Structure 1
């Protein structure tokens, strides 16, 4: 491990080993008039590779910085209607002025090649037309093909492997991070270009003072006032009758913007997550979260396959959302945003698992056969109101959000354990889980003379109620609770009340490029947990057969509080080459857990120093190198402190011993990154390395008996060590109209664990090789292809040692043919293969489609046949530390859809 760290440190500093040189000057024409937008490039003699470049400003001035080991370099100047210049100069700092001769530029030389990717400062702009194909209809279709940009399956947009922090349309942040709706439904024809804003600081008053290493996306539309949107209406044949409706009108004006979205289907498309926050902005904007339930209790869940969701999701979903933004003052500094969404979703799922549990010293080997059928019901609403002022002379943002859930889950489970006399069990499980959540976040930055005063406040209150019922009670095998004759109902109740308040104030002052921000704050969180497990049996109530009486060993009334006053100093620096930001907080952690009935009285009072540092160096125009490191401490939550057993699922019991201390986890991590992005030759590259050491004072000690798990913890220091590196290279080839990228990652984790009181050491190594490319070279065909090869090696050492290797291969091929104008024939192939200990499973899925486009009206008529082979189950085999699992999962059958697709304007 030390060798890897040393290697990456050497790589990082090797790129800095050659001194940077700067050439600056002015470009004019024959009459001495400044030439703006001329390109100045530096190249090594005899090599067709650009070291650095610059674009002249309105005064014809340029400044280009480069690094080279050569004694001389070539400087080249190009401008429209001017004769190109090439001059060999020494590798040194110097000033070079040039006077260019006029020369008419032939139109044939003005190609899309020079315009598809342009850069100015920290902004890289992509012409959308250079990357789309005839089959693309929305922004998301094209975004996936742009070099340097990736779109994850959850909709998150990555630039150079990192998530963006903002998503703008014409410079306005309508969606406040929940940009999935626009990305999926904005017609590509409405977009002029996609801009990447590198090192984007969204708070204007902090620009040039507090740097950022994240990028933002700005969608620049063709018109400053745009009424547009996308719609689909479809019906199909399957079991049952199928439908798919999408209606998303949009308006983008100079003063106001809005998006209304209604989507419903039962054909396996997951649309309900479009409202999730994917970009969280900057801490100075306040705190925003994706409100979620505390899902402590669960029915047994059927497994899900490693497949596109459309292959297995049996759904019936209705999703409605509305987003509105308007300026409320004449200067257009104040904005009001109102966002709301509602989801109603019903999902069916079924799987079969054969689990082989390894023998331990205390328990023999066993085999568990289980079939689970689920019905999941989601019913939730969310509203949000945001007031924002983002100006050079001040910042204000208040976000108020409210969420309500009325969720419910159902399960029917058949379980057989081969080594038990009464081995066959059948259980019906149900959970009701209403949740109410409220948050308010306030942040304001006020200039005070030459300083800035920032006040931050976050308040959150949430209640969770969950009731898990299992019938008959004999389905359970809880120690001290299970009786073979129990035919009644077992009920686990749980209620959580959580209040959180974070308040802070800081003052920032700047000098010579440095900004210092001392801050004081107070964080408080209080959670009350009440839980009881009831055994409701049939027959009369007797002292030995109580009815509706909670079992004392399974009751909790715990209050868990955390109070953390802190002080910190933020340090930021930015110039043309360096960007540094760091924070040095000192926290006084005061944690207390109390449950008098269970004799729980625990506390921690500890002062911690938790610094984090980031430094980035930009050189030779195209290169960036960065290092980062941080230390943080975690002292657990209420779910690590209760001591009364809780049935978190019908197959598991969790609790901490009353004598166990509060968990204390210390995490240290460090990483480095080298990044190259050259818009002139359409090449993007990055390599990353990270090492993490997590020290814990408690270690889990699960007891697994016949597939039933009781989780406890032992007091023992232990470490989880992880390291990993990844790299990705992407390039667009204009001549072949091809965008291609190759990625590789390697991650290793080492940890200690207990199982049935036996000690094990565990090491996991996972590797992944990915390939992605798309091609639109031929007028009659386009190709999209994604593939990945994975390998996982698991090594466990203890009384019984085990080695397990697992290999996987997945790919997706999309072929589109255009035999006649306005006619498209599509073919899609998803393949997922697994191979573990001689167990091989190949899962292939095929779709075909035909689409006719009414060009005059811009309406598409599509017929699509999905899962042609009518593959109804997905099979896979996995090897874990304690068991092996063969899994068979129900999939969507073959189905045919007819869909009409259109733009609203």
Structure 2
């Protein structure tokens, strides 16, 4: 992992008698008193602090503070880099001092280092458990990590990006005892040859592995069994030394743990968007309900197995080889009843349904990487192949009609990404890149008996429906850029070519009662060919001086799009210039504080999913087609963010404003009846605007040994809906407040409290419309409390309660209270843990939920897992 060049300041603290002074705060300040770097002295009184080479040492001040000693403050000099300091004892009134353990953190320029041992508790097992309670850090339910409100871009293990962007398995598997520190790398540039040459505002974290943990292979074997008929097994192997790293995990369970979460790629979708290659989404679905807003282990009825194998080798001369192999087999079931109401001017459309969906997903994903990252050149080739899919049979009843459905899909995804960045003799940079990708997701939806015959089949009864659709896609992007890196203004000029080729094929068939097959006229077939070519030139300017960093990107492109379908006499070509400038600036207003401003303008055309003419039966009650031309959208987005932090005090604050406005020349028009929703894209101007404000504060309270946090957000959006030929402007407002605290009480108890309150309101935005549509409002409250008792290092007893409350006008109040318990005993001699987990002690077997969007209301009732008890034995290989 590349880091900027540093200079080191060392020293030792001791008394006149030669007694070392451990754990003193050593701080380096600039002339205006702002902290540049700091660190605590070790047990022998030694300290070593790294400073950027660019900093002027002669302007700095070295300050040392320690309880019971007088503060020492001296001016630093050149070329001196070692300071032996004598500290004088100072009497204190012990009656006014309560000794508390203080977390150890260090700061080195843009790098902040959390000492893991300072934040770990007896109940913690993985490094993710510890990161959750570090002030300024967040770990989402899906494993995504954020620092002061910003998602991390890279997750390193001792300097190596072993897991790429699927790092959730690492935070859940790596024991915190292996990790010495968690480094937060701000303004991180991972390519060494581009450091100090190309501005980055990315944040990354690096796990610093203890030296003794690098010496040998370690791992864990976990065996769990319980009632009713539960199992939970895991075998993992870990090795993190300088030459070779591996993290391999084999899992199997039916206790509600979703193993597919281990394969979540947090940055891949944004990478595809950045290069202009967004994969076609799923067009077909077997149901209409979403998942409940509960932890997945409450409702996930599964049998799952997975292999997550990650191996990395450093060869001679700096070449790195890496393989990431992911395999998954799963079977799960979702059982729900639903009510959907759509409010119109003179009518309310109501759908009721009951469905049991069985999903059988599988995944095979292989990525092979070769990389050479040096200060004078960078070369990387990443080859990826993924084959996945699922079979989803389901039984659905609607208005006393029972239907059997089967949705099958297969996904083939192949890509290769090559990058070469050499530094020339004049120190300038050339960047060569080529990305190629093939993607296909064929889907088949079968429904029996035949649905909606009065709309789809001339009111005649038929046996079954079969909808097939696929969009095989080839995408290529090649680019060449030249960077001028001398001086305070960094310049880059590039050219590139994008080619995209797609073909949408779909067929809607009806099986008649006599066994013969009939096509849904001409309108049930698509044979659409799509080609997009874009040639672009761009200029990027980076400015960095004193406290200001700024980047201006000016990309110009000539784009041609051709699409044709002879069945509909469709043959269209669109050619145009595109100019999508962006600007970002960061102004440092303190040693650790900054204001960031981002602006982006985008002029984008639609894709193949918005121009097909033939009808597609999306689900049993939704039919979709298009009548408009290629949709064009122009958007502006402005984001203002303020970042405030005081690392010494472990205080982190972030706040910001976000505004966007998009104008499109087409809008979705829906004709809704009690039987079927028919949706088409029609040529009509449509505006969507959003405004949001957000903020968060995280603070470590030293007196309580507690990490506290508070997040708040408010957003409003305005958009149009075209329903039954009536244009309805809607306004949605959402306010959310989330407090949390983690604290240890009296050394025996620890508590964790988290809550989220959300207020959602939706109403017509135009008061001139004399419509009787109701204004909707929903309040959701979700709070959980966990109490742990640790009488000694061997025993842990915990209870967790979660309360959920839903309020809405003219609807029944919904309340739930879940309670879980766990007991763990550690056998140090055997390197083992014995753990008993009791889940859903109240045996709640159903969950009801409301949701609200514009003029639609959903009520869903889900089947939950019920009470469970699992006894698990964990053996750690050391």
TM-score w.r.t. the length of structure 1 is: 0.87
Residues 1:596 and 2:566 aligned together: yes
Q: Identify which of 592, 607, 617 aligns with 1:647.
A: 617
Change (3 A) 1:538 1:315: same
Classify 1:137/1:57 alpha carbon distance in 2 versus 1 (closer, same or farther; 3 Å). closer
Decide which of 69, 87, 95 is 1:103's aligned counterpart: 87
Once residues 147 and 438 of structure 2 are traced to their aligned partners in structure 1, the CA distance between those partners, rounded to angstroms, is 35
Please tell me whether residue 258 in structure 1 is matched to residue 234 in structure 2: no
Find the partner of 2:512 among 537, 543, 548. 537
Deviation, 1:83, is 5.0
Q: Give the corresponding residue for 1:559.
A: 529
What is residue 142 of structure 2 aligned with on the other side?
Answer: 154
Equivalent in 410, 413, 416 of residue 396 of structure 2: 413
In structure 2, distance between residues paired with 1:683 and 1:829 = 29
Specify which of 410, 421, 429 is matched with residue 405 of structure 2: 429
Question: What whole-Å deviation, never above 9, does each CA across 1:431-458 have from its counterpart, x for those lacking one?
Answer: 2212211100001001222211111100
- Counterpart among 634, 654, 661 of residue 686 in structure 1: 654
Deviations 1:366-393 (A, max 9, x none): 4332101101110120111101011101
The question of 1:184 aligning with 2:168 is answered no
Shift of 1:821: 4.8
Q: Find the counterpart in structure 2 of residue 443 from structure 1.
A: 419
1:520 maps to what in 2? 495
In 2: Cα distance, 1:431 partner to 1:802 partner:
36
2:857 maps to: 884
2:684 aligned counterpart, secondary structure: strand
The within-5 A match list for 1:497-516 is: 497-516=472-491
Rounded Cα–Cα distance in structure 1 between residues aligned with 2:693 and 2:349? 39
**1:463 paired to 2:447:** no
Q: 1:84 aligns with which of 39, 48, 71?
A: 71
Structure 2 CA distance for aligned equivalents of residues 896 and 469 of structure 1 = 39
1:842 to 815, 821, 827: 815
Match of 1:750 among 715, 718, 734: 718
Equivalent of residue 542 in structure 2, options 561, 572, 586: 572
Q: Structure 1 residue 166: deviation in Å?
A: 1.0
Tell me which of 238, 244, 248 is aligned to 2:236.
248
- State whether residues 64 and 73 of structure 2, in contact with CA within 8 Å, keep that contact through their aligned partners in structure 1: no
Q: Render the CA deviation track for 1:447-489: whole Å, top value 9, x for unaligned.
A: 222211111100001222211111011x235724263522x12
Superposed CA RMSD in Å reads: 3.3
Does structure 2 retain, via aligned residues, the 8 Å contact 1:441–1:459? Answer: yes
How many residues align? The count is 835
Matches of 1:632 and 1:149, distance apart in 2 = 32
How far has the Cα of 1:51 moved from its partner? 5.0
How far apart are residue 277 of structure 1 and its match? 2.0
Secondary structure of residue in 2 paired with 1:184: helix
Does the 8 Å CA contact 1:83/1:101 hold for their aligned counterparts?
no
Structure 2 residue 364 is matched with structure 1 residue 396:
no
In 1, Cα distance between equivalents of 2:679 and 2:204 = 44
* Residue of structure 2 in register with 1:267 after alignment: 255
- 8 Å Cα contact 2:371-2:381 kept in structure 1: yes
Task: Name the SS of the counterpart of 2:171 in structure 1.
Answer: helix
| Structure 2 residue aligned with 1:326 | 313
- Give 5+ residue unaligned stretches, structure 1: 1-24, 45-49, 67-73, 89-96, 417-423, 542-546
Q: CA deviation at 1:784?
A: 1.4
Partner of residue 449, structure 2: 472
Secondary structure, counterpart of 2:609 in structure 1: helix
Structure 2: tracts of 5 or more residues without a match: 1-8, 15-20, 39-47, 76-80
Question: SS at the partner of 1:200?
Answer: coil
**The one of 608, 611, 633 aligned to 2:581:** 611
Q: Distance in 1 between matches of 2:723 and 2:273?
A: 45
Per the alignment, do residues 548 and 773 of structure 1 end up closer, same or farther by CA in structure 2, a change over 3 Å counting? same
Quote how far apart the aligned CAs of 1:412 are: 1.1
Shift of 1:282: 11
C-alpha displacement of 1:815: 1.1
Q: Deviations over 1:827-860 (max 9, x none)?
A: 1112221111142101221111211111233311
Which of 829, 836, 844 pairs up with 1:856? 829
Counterpart secondary structure, 1:776: strand
1:581 aligns with 2:581: no
Farther-moved stretch of structure 1 (394-403 vs 127-136): 127-136
1:317 corresponding residue in structure 2: 304
Contact 1:743 1:771 in 2 (8 A): yes
**Structure 1 contact 166–280 (Cα < 8 Å) conserved:** no
- Alignment partner of 1:350 out of 335, 352, 374: 335
**Aligned partner of residue 856 in structure 1, secondary structure:** helix
CA displacement at 1:226 relative to structure 2: 4.8
TM-superposition CA deviations, 1:48-78 (whole Å, max 9, x none): xx85454596899976999xxxxxxx98822
Task: Determine if contact 2:441/2:472 at 8 Å carries over to the other structure.
Answer: yes
Match of 1:17 in 2: none
Distance apart, 1:805 and its partner CA: 0.9
Matched, 1:378 2:361: yes
Structure 1 residues 58 and 376, CA, compared in 2 at 3 Å: closer, same or farther?
Answer: closer
1:537-569 Cα deviation digits (max 9, x unpaired): 11275xxxxx24453111110011111111101
Cα displacement string for residues 757-786 of structure 1 (whole angstroms, at most 9, x for unaligned residues): 111110001010011110124321111111
Aligned to 1:14: none
Q: Which of 724, 730, 733 is the equivalent residue of 2:698?
A: 730
CA deviation vs aligned residue, 1:739-766 (integer Å, no higher than 9, x gap): 0011110111011221111111100010
The answer as to whether partners of 2:255 and 2:297 remain within 8 angstroms in 1 is: yes
Q: CA deviation at 1:415?
A: 0.5
- The 2-side partners of 1:107 and 1:478 are apart by 93
Counterpart CA distance in 2 for 1:876 and 1:192 is: 43
Contact 1:602 1:662 in 2 (8 A): no
Quote the offset at 1:229 in angstroms: 3.0
- The answer to whether the 8 A contact 1:165-1:281 is kept is no
Which residue number in structure 2 is paired with residue 816 of structure 1? 788
Say which of 357, 369, 373 aligns to 2:352.
Answer: 369
Alignment of 1:624 onto 2:594: yes
Aligned: 1:236 with 2:236: no
What is the rounded CA distance, in whole Å, between the counterparts of 1:160 and 1:325 in structure 2? 30
Q: Contact 2:355–2:397 at 8 Å: present in 1 too?
A: yes
Structure 1 residue 865 and structure 2 residue 838: aligned?
Answer: yes
TM-superposed CA distance for 1:661, in Å, is 1.4
Structure-1 separation of matches of 2:656 and 2:390: 40
CA distance in structure 1 between the aligned counterparts of 2:129 and 2:89, rounded to whole angstroms: 35
After superposition, residues 105-184 of structure 1 pair within 5 angstroms as: 116-184=104-172
For residues 548 and 138 of structure 1, what CA distance do their matches in structure 2 show?
A: 58
Residue 638 of structure 2 aligns with which residue?
670
User: Per the alignment, in what secondary structure is the counterpart of residue 260 of structure 2?
Assistant: coil
Q: What is the distance in 1 between the residues matched to 2:58 and 2:398?
A: 69
Superposition map of 1:202-221 within 5 A: 202-221=190-209
SS of the aligned residue for 2:567 comes to helix
Q: Distance in 1 between matches of 2:593 and 2:69?
A: 29
Partner Cα distance (2:593, 2:722) in 1: 46
Q: Deviations over 1:800-822 (max 9, x none)?
A: 43311111101122211123551
Compared CA separation, residues 38 and 113, structure 1 to 2 (3 A): same
Give the superposition deviation at 1:408. 1.1
For residues 380-432 of structure 1, what are the alpha-carbon distances to aligned partners after superposition, in whole Å with 9 as ceiling and x for unaligned? 2011110101110100010010011241111211101xxxxxxx322111022
1:662–1:489 CA distance, 2 compared to 1 (3 A) = same
